Amino acid sequence: MSSKPADGGATVTPLRPRRPCPECGRPSARDSFPFCSPRCKAVDLNRWLSGAYVIPVRDDDEEDGTPPA
């Protein structure tokens, strides 16, 4: 059974909770989720394309404890 408000309209449950924008912290917008605006979305894309986000990688030689030759 679903509950309806007294005025006869349906209640809408959001599919996901609101989260802050990862760039500036303002509430996210539906059209540019998870960002608050197209500007913050473009800033994040620029960081990815310029290589600002990197995953550090170690060589296999360093992992087993033997010094490189």
- What are the mean pLDDT values of the chain's consecutive 10-residue runs (69 residues total)? 61 78 93 94 95 84 59
Total structural domains within the chain = 1
Residue with tokens 């960081």: 47
Three-state SS for 39? helix
Per-residue pLDDT, 39: 97
Per-residue pLDDT, 25: 95
Residue 41 lies in a domain: yes
Per-residue pLDDT, 9: 72
Residue 11 lies in a domain: no
Name the residue range of residue 29's domain.
17-51
Residue 9 lies in a domain: no
Residue 47 lies in a domain: yes
Residue 42 lies in a domain: yes
Residue 26 lies in a domain: yes
**What's the whole-model pTM score?**
0.56
- For 65, half-sphere exposure in the C-beta direction (CA atoms, 13 angstrom radius) is 0
